[in-house]
Amino acid sequence: MVPRGLLAIATSFVVAFLLTALPLPQWAEPWRPAWVTLVLIYWCLAVPHRVGVLVGWTLGLLLDAMTGTLLGQHALSLSLVAFLSLRLHLRVRVLPVWQQGLTVFLLVVLDRALSLWVTGIQGMPTQALSIWAPAVTSTLLWPWLFVVLRDVRRRYQVS
């Protein structure tokens, strides 16, 4: 028996993966929001007993396989993001959406910082500023994503 709403959660992650792989024009590529991170943060805040560190870790591993990065790079950053979201979920849930956005900004910055760190250890140079662009777009997108996913959660009664 599949727990209620699990399908909704899985579908939202599948969509996040699709959006991550969607080809963008060259100029827009650095600005691609961190879709998987955003959706993970949302579910961690909304249903912390369902989605947590292990889910983040597994998603990260899949993301690594899909984007061709070092296996474990996204697993590391996403499990940390999930952990912090779980830790903060009671505090963040009651904030207005724009203040949640600030938290999301910090979490995505952490996500990117870990990636930068890992690629740095591998000896791959990265253009310094564009790596932070996803944090900006993710923050701007958060209110909309929040509303959409909240509707999904209510519609399919994910609990």
Candidate list 6, 10, 71, 97; residue touching another protein; CB under 8 A: 71
**Calpha distance 130→139 (Å, rounded):** 15
**Between 122 and 159, whose beta carbon lies closer to another protein?**
122
Site size toward another protein (CB under 8 A) is 44
Confirm or reject binding of residue 65 to another protein (CB under 8 A): yes
Candidate list 37, 46, 52, 135; residue touching another protein; CB under 8 A: 52
Q: Which residues contact 116 (CB under 8 A, 6 or more apart)?
A: 126, 131
**Calpha distance 69→63 (Å, rounded):** 8
Q: Which residues contact 107 (CB under 8 A, 6 or more apart)?
A: 37, 41, 81, 84, 85
CA 100 to chain centre: 14
**Between 75 and 145, whose beta carbon lies closer to another protein?**
75
Q: Which stretches of the chain bind another protein, using CB under 8 A?
A: 14, 17-18, 20-24, 26, 29-30, 32, 52-54, 56-57, 60-62, 64-73, 75-76, 79-80, 83, 115, 118-119, 122, 124-127, 131
